[in-house]
Structure 1
Amino acid sequence: MAATSGTDHSVPVERWSSVEEICKHLGVSRDTIYRWIAGRGMPAHRIGRLWKFKLSEVDAWARTKPEPA
C-alpha cells in the first residue's frame, strides 16, 4: 500500500461553457457571440461542431473591449 501525505494537490478544472451560457452571462444574442468570434477575436474553442468557452477567458477578453455606444 502506498503512503499518502493526506494533502490534495489537484487543481480545480474549469468547465466548458456553451454558447447559450455565454449569451446569458454577457447579456447578448447568439448572433452577437458568433460575430464576436469571427470579427473581434473572442476566445472560443471548436469542439466538433460546437463552440465552447472558458468563462475566465471570456471575462478577461471582455475586460479589454470598450463598452458599445
Structure 2
Amino acid sequence: MVIGVRVDPAVEQRLDALAQHLGKSRSACIHEAIDHYLLRHGDGDEARRQSEHLAQLEQPHWSEQVPNWSVWTA
C-alpha cells in the first residue's frame, strides 16, 4: 500500500539527515516510525500499561510545601 504524507520542509530535511545517518531510506524510517507509533498507541491495553508505568515513575513537582488543610478552621 502506498500512503502519501505532506511534511514541512524542515521535517523533511531532518528526516533525510536521520535516514542518511542511520544508513536507511527515508521510507524505511517512516515505516519504522509508524510501527513504533502503532505499538505504543494502537493497542488500548498496551497504551494504558505504558501510561500507568510512566505515572509511577513521575515525581511530584511541588515548588513549595502543601499546607495541611485539615488543621485549618473557619
- Determine if the TM-score, normalized by the shorter chain, exceeds 0.5: no
TM value normalised by structure 1: 0.33
TM value normalised by structure 2: 0.30
Structure number with the higher helix fraction is 2
Structure number with the higher strand fraction is 1
Q: Larger RCO: Structure 1 or Structure 2 (Cα < 8 Å, ≥ 6 residues apart)?
A: 1
Name the larger-Rg structure: 2
